[in-house]
Amino acid sequence: MEKAALISRAREYAELEKDPVFAQEVKDLLAQNDDKELEDRFYRDLEFGTGGLRGIIGGGYNRMNTLVITRATQGLCDYIKTQFPGKALSACVAHDSRRRSADFALATALVFAANGIKAYLFPSLRPTPELSFAIRTLGADTGVVVTASHNPPQYNGYKAYWNDGSQVVPPHDEGIIHRVQGVSSAASISKEKALAAGLLVMLDGAVDDAYVAMVKSRLLRPQLMAKAAATAKIVYTPLHGTGAMLLERIMGELGLKVMTVPEQREPDGEFPTVSFPNPEEPAALKLAIELGRKEKADVVMANDPDADRLGIAVPGKDDSYILVSGNQLGSLHLDYILHSLSELGRMPPKPYCIKTVVTTNLQAAIAEKYGVECRECLTGFKWIADLMRQFEAQGKDFIYATEESYGHLIEPEVRDKDGISAAALTAEMTLYWRSKGLSLLDRLEKLYQEFGYHEERGISKYFQGPQGMKIMSGIMDAYRAKQPIALGGIPVVSIRDIKTGFEWETGNPGKRKIDLPESDVLQWRLRDGTLVTVRPSGTEPKIKYYILCKTDVPAAGLEKAKAQTREKIQAIEADVRKVIG
């Protein structure tokens, strides 16, 4: 973009932005003639994608700030009115512990109120799954949670929800985006006027109480919990986020002893003790594992800042703690749920579970054993919720849903991943297998013996700045122009291109249509059954690869299968690195 255009956009923004901090940031950049920073903040508008907004906090059209958020909310209001004409509309709004989250949440609620849409606002931070639950409980028409999940502290985000508590999917996502793009100004009123008019309602503890009761009701073995809960030791960290309030309450009411990492218990958007507040990152669990080792905990648990993800570590040998991956925990959850429902005679007539296209196939094998339908969907819990909506209309019975990135859902009352209820189930599962003389690792090994050894690896590469999207698009275009014939020395036998909607065998020109929404995803199935997937992230400037390997356990034993699998993964990763560096 030409310098004159950048300066014009920057001056326009500084005049329109009502938040003096963000406006002054841009005025200072103009005074300093900081062309590089101005370009990054103004070369484009921060994209309102299919899940909402996510970006670095600061002044500018390519940043998270009050002006950008209120315009997005105005577009959401405009669209909701077209979908429910003549209806008295309402919305739920929540936020996490990040910088400016409370301010952004209030600004969002006041735009709803100014548009005549009653805004239910949580008075303090709440987990994302409770926002989904609140929409359904209160019968709201939409909702917003201000969060950037597990991103670094300079980020914040804005996720939009539909009236069933799920993030928006087609056709509503494109409809909202179109409306947002057409907004030039947003309506707003003061908090005092909104409260007086009954258009702003500050939620009390009733929704908390209902959510807590729901989570406890979804556990499978209350008698076991009543008998053995007091004997369990759980170490927990909310990673400076929203999880502690509800998780500590739920665990306490179940009789479980929870020791929360003191340095990470209080909400803090600076996340001072971690580089990334992400339970997928081993370093994020360092303090929790240290406390777990000291207390000899049965399980160490971590939520991300908005508590929709759960990561765990469990005791290994020699006083060590082993990190359990999202794929492994999802497999353990599904196994425990199906084992329990079968054993207790409570398997529903039409059970189904859901996993994403990049989640371990171990779960499909477990589901098949119990005669449970296992369906695949695109990455992202909005697609899981979309399938739940379809199956609900068909009278099918929800069992469990998961994705590899530490997202788990055990209850249909929420339509997004829920790290709080997943933690409660994990505690019960730990107690159950302990009562059978097994650790969670022991049970996982038995699953591998039965279904083959499964190991997964994710590879990501960030491409920041104005050229980042072009680079990632170029990588995907190059693959489509010339598909790989082998990865890691293993021949590619079939290709699935979810963007074009077709899959085919490499030696057969005939293509089959696939039943998935369009998405920029390529998948290669190798001759040994390994699945390799590549896609640009929908929320961050990075490209992501997923390697899902399976090796049958030979006569030489499970350790041999593990070694063979890791050799394959290393060879495949080497080929990926040749492309992305």
**pLDDT per residue as tens, the chain (581 positions):** 789 999 999 999 999 999 999 999 999 999 999 999 999 999 999 988 777 999 999 999 999 999 999 999 999 999 999 999 999 999 999 999 999 999 999 999 999 999 999 999 999 999 999 999 999 999 999 999 999 998 999 999 999 999 999 999 889 989 999 999 999 899 999 999 999 999 999 999 999 999 999 999 999 999 999 999 999 999 999 999 999 999 999 999 999 999 999 999 999 999 999 999 999 999 999 999 999 999 999 999 999 999 999 999 999 988 899 999 999 999 999 999 999 999 999 999 999 999 999 999 999 999 999 999 999 999 999 999 999 999 999 999 999 999 999 999 999 999 999 999 999 999 999 999 999 999 999 999 999 999 999 999 999 999 887 688 889 999 999 999 999 999 999 999 999 999 999 999 998 878 999 999 999 999 999 999 999 999 998 667 899 999 999 999 988 899 999 999 999 999 999 999 999 98
Long-range contacts from 210-213, C-beta under 8 angstroms, 24+ separation: 210/133, 210/137, 211/130, 211/133, 211/134, 211/137, 211/246, 212/246, 212/249, 212/250, 212/253
CB 434 within 8 A of CB 442: no
Query: Same structural domain for residues 63 and 182?
Result: yes
Q: Match 């189930």 to its residue by tokens.
A: 425
What letters, b where the CB count within 10 A reaches 16 and e where it falls short, cover 364-396? bbbbeebebebbbbbbbbbbbbbbbeebeeeeb
Query: Same structural domain for residues 122 and 50?
Result: yes
The CATH number given to whatever domain includes residue 517 is 3.30.310.50
Which pLDDT does position 508 carry in this prediction? 84
Which of 451, 474, 496 is a domain's end point?
Answer: 451
CA atoms 119, 120, 123, 125: torsion sign: negative
Query: Does any domain span residue 1?
Result: no
Query: Same structural domain for residues 441 and 337?
Result: yes
Query: Same structural domain for residues 401 and 492?
Result: no
Query: Same structural domain for residues 282 and 175?
Result: no
Q: Tokens for 85? A: 């004409």
Query: Does any domain span residue 500?
Result: yes
Query: Does any domain span residue 39?
Result: no
Query: Does any domain span residue 483?
Result: yes
Q: How many CA atoms lie within 13 A of 88 on its CB side?
A: 4
Which pLDDT does position 418 carry in this prediction? 98
Q: Give the integer Cα–Cα distance in Å for 25 and 36.
A: 14
Range of the domain at 499: 453-580
pTM: 0.94
Query: Same structural domain for residues 342 and 485?
Result: no
Which of 290, 305, 324 is a domain's end point?
Answer: 324
> What count of residues does the chain have?
581
Query: Does any domain span residue 413?
Result: yes
Task: Tally the domains of the chain.
Answer: 4
Which pLDDT does position 49 carry in this prediction? 79
Which of 430, 451, 472 is a domain's end point?
Answer: 451
Between helix 326-343 and helix 440-451 the angle, nearest 10°, is: 90
Which pLDDT does position 470 carry in this prediction? 87
Query: Same structural domain for residues 432 and 486?
Result: no
Which H or E run includes 204?
none
Indicate which residues carry an active-site annotation: 149
Q: How many CA atoms lie within 13 A of 302 on its CB side?
A: 33
Which pLDDT does position 561 carry in this prediction? 94
Query: Does any domain span residue 540?
Result: yes
Which pLDDT does position 539 carry in this prediction? 64
The CATH number given to whatever domain includes residue 391 is 3.40.120.10
Helix extents (H) in 84-188: 101-114, 128-138, 172-181
Phi–psi pair at 559, nearest 5 degrees = -65, -35
> How distant is the alpha carbon of residue 270 from its chain centre?
20
Query: Same structural domain for residues 138 and 256?
Result: no
Q: How many CA atoms lie within 13 A of 20 on its CB side?
A: 0
